[in-house]
Amino acid sequence: MALCESWLYTVFWRRFRHNRLAIAGGGVVLLLFLLSVLAPYITPWEPGAIDAYHVLLPPSPDHWFGTDELGRDVFTRVVYGARISLKVGFVSVGIAVAIGTVLGLVSGFYGGVVDTVIMRFVDIMLCFPTFFLILAVIAFLEPDIWYIMAIIGLTGWMGVARLVRAEVLSLRERDFVLAARALGASDLRIIFRHILPNAASPVLVSATLGVAGAILTESALSFLGIGVQPPTPSWGNILTAGKDYVEFAWWLSLFPGLAILVTVLAYNLLGEGIRDALDPRLNR
């Protein structure tokens, strides 16, 4: 354990800190998290507060991102929308990682018929267009944030399962696994105590990149009107409201669009940086 911690704080951090883009991505992710948590203390406005006397005002010192068609402060709604996006990203990716990791571990460790059945199921799931599958499921359900998170998670685990299976196939014949077998360790102990910690690197990278994909999916669903429903602010439904006024109220589309762009880019840069730092083939 001490050796593992020493490696984490030396090799990993030394590699990661030299990647300026990854550091920038991590800084943006941290900033978004702080903004979402401290939203009530950052802005004096309420996200749903209607002000008929200040409709469609351009950006100003009082309203940094302007106001919308109902006089609501756009900056406040974008900040509160970050809460929804981050919640969807973390919860849905958590579901996908949990399912994919378990199935990948079982498939790679036992092999044979078990591996064949699980991998063919993965292939079947990959044949369905994920976004249209989500649309079809939500069409039969109430457009609730919890349904959205569950559906995104239940349709996004296939890549994780494949990554974990590939790692387990290379790990199950290693000396430390054979030694654990010789000592009489059970399959569950070998899988979760010896194999899983050594297969965690690609899972961490996939989870980081998966958050960006989940945020994009939620924003697209909200933009189409079947995601987070108004008056709850979401970057997607803020964009939907702004498209009708884009010719003379550009700020309604610009700022939530930039929020999506910067957030997705930050998570991608962070994920790439973590992948490079954990790659033992890179000698830096």
Q: What is the CATH number of the domain that holds 201?
A: 1.10.3720.10
**Is there a domain that residue 32 lies in?**
no
Q: What is the pLDDT of residues 45-68, one digit of tens each?
A: 888 888 888 888 889 888 889 888
Place of tokens 């929308």: 81
Report the domain count for the chain: 1
Q: Which two tokens stand for residue 153?
A: 């998670």
* Mean model confidence pLDDT for the chain: 84
- 157 within 8 A of 97, measured Cβ to Cβ: yes
Q: Report the alpha-carbon distance of residue 196 to residue 69 in Å, rounded.
A: 52
What local confidence, expressed as pLDDT, does residue 138 receive? Answer: 76
- Which residues span the domain enclosing 120? 48-268
> What are the tens digits of pLDDT across the range 180-237?
888 887 878 888 888 888 888 888 888 888 898 888 888 888 888 888 887 888 888 8
How far from 41 is each of 34, 38, 235, 240, 247, CA to CA, in Å?
A: 11, 5, 20, 27, 33
Q: Which of 203, 228, 237 is nearest to 74 (CA)?
A: 237
Q: Is residue 31 part of a domain?
A: no
- pLDDT, tens digit, for every residue of 69-121? 888 999 999 999 888 888 888 999 999 999 999 999 999 888 889 999 999 99
Return d(Cα 133, Cα 85) in angstroms, integer: 20
Tell whether 17 is covered by a domain: no
Question: Between 10 and 79, whose confidence is greater?
Answer: 79
pLDDT at 2 over 50: no
pLDDT of residue 218: 86
25 in any annotated domain: no
Does residue 84 lie in a domain region?
yes
Residue 11 lies inside a defined structural domain of this protein: no
- Please indicate, yes or no, if residue 38 is contained in any of the structural domains: no
Does pLDDT of 281 surpass 60?
no
Tens digit of each residue's pLDDT (9 = 90 or more) over 115-136: 999 999 998 888 877 778 777 7
Asked whether the predicted pLDDT for residue 1 surpasses 50, the reply is no
Tell me if 278 is assigned to some domain. Answer: no
pLDDT digits (tens, 9 = 90+) for 149-171: 888 888 889 989 998 998 888 88
